[in-house]
Amino acid sequence: MEDSLKYSVIVPVYNSELSLEELYHELESVFRELNLFFEVIFVDDNSHDDSWQVLRTLKKAYPECIRIVRLARNYGQHNATLCGFSFANGERIITIDDDLQNPPSEIIKLHEAAEQTEADVVYGVYRTKKHSLLRNIGSQFLKHSAGLIHRSTGNGSSFRLIRRELMLKLLNHVQHFIFLDEVLQWYTDDIMFVEVEHHPRKYNKSGYSSRKLFRVMSNILFQYTTLPLKLLVYGGLIGSLITFAMVVYYLVLKLCFDVPLGYTSLIVSILFSTSIILFSLGIIGDYLRRIYLVQNKKPPYSIKKVF
């Protein structure tokens, strides 16, 4: 095998005991075909099945190629991937899911694209995703959030190739919640996209429930954008104009038609303006809560075991 290039493959693991052995053997086959050295870093995100036991068995069978890390609790896919970065020794880093929906054989396409373009990041993107409707909607939101809010590429997936120099910069981010695709675009515009296959899930169900998808979307919205604050500005402006128009309307009724104003107009105005204030305070409070978490230096992950 070539000594000049080594790949590190980061696999965040959550309740995937049935697919791990097959995944490793497919990865091994790919890098044998490419004639490249590789290592696989499995990060068990506190699985509740026998994933850790399966990983221990794989580690004993292939000690030179595998490193396994177990987190103290469940931190999420992106945080687990960030943890894996800290153990990576390769010149190029591949991140891939544990469910075999990204066929390891497609790594060859990422490798060839990196060789041809020397891009900082190469994403494997899909023409169609073999997920449920709800999961597809959530994935599309995450995929396009950067493009909609920051006018960046707005594309991406968890199947990516990253150059080591860029990966090292990501390790400086220690906030509790991290969204890698957003952070990557803070550092580089040299990003390439390659169409790859996406297979139906072979084992178990996705670990992303509706609740988890909503939580991820909320975290991205508040921690990586200022969109809610912008909505406050425009919402406050629109609310003020509406309230002012209502005041003018009732004044015209009073002055021109001598209509008694009564309590209705007053109550409507108060309720309308109060609802805007409470909504605004809620958004500001959420930002303050997240600033508090950052100031407390809540860790992005905590390692329990490493082998």
Tally of structural domains, the chain: 2
Which structure tokens are listed for 35? Answer: 């004639």
The parent domain of residue 137 ranges over 2-225
Question: Which residue, 205, 225, 245, sits at the end of a domain?
Answer: 225
Is 289 part of any domain?
Answer: yes
* 162 and 234 fall within a common domain: no
Which whole-number Å values give the CA distances from 97 to 19, 81, 103, 104, 133, in the listed order?
Answer: 10, 10, 9, 10, 19
**CATH classification of the domain holding 149:** 3.90.550.10
* 199 and 266 fall within a common domain: no
pLDDT, tens digit (0-9, with 9 covering 90-100), for 40-73: 999 999 999 999 999 999 999 999 999 999 999 9
pLDDT, tens digit (0-9, with 9 covering 90-100), for 182-223: 889 889 989 999 999 988 877 776 665 667 667 767 766 766
User: How many Å apart are CA 163 and CA 244, to the nearest integer?
Assistant: 56
* 136 has a pLDDT exceeding 50: yes
User: How many Å apart are CA 223 and CA 207, to the nearest integer?
Assistant: 22
* 218 and 233 fall within a common domain: no
* 193 and 261 fall within a common domain: no
* 264 and 185 fall within a common domain: no
Q: What is the predicted pLDDT for the residue at 234?
A: 74
For 185, list phi and psi in degrees, rounded to 5: -80, -10
* 129 and 36 fall within a common domain: yes
Runs of H (alpha helix) within the chain: 20-34, 51-61, 77-85, 107-117, 133-150, 164-170, 180-187, 210-223, 227-257, 264-295
Question: Which residue, 196, 225, 254, sits at the end of a domain?
Answer: 225
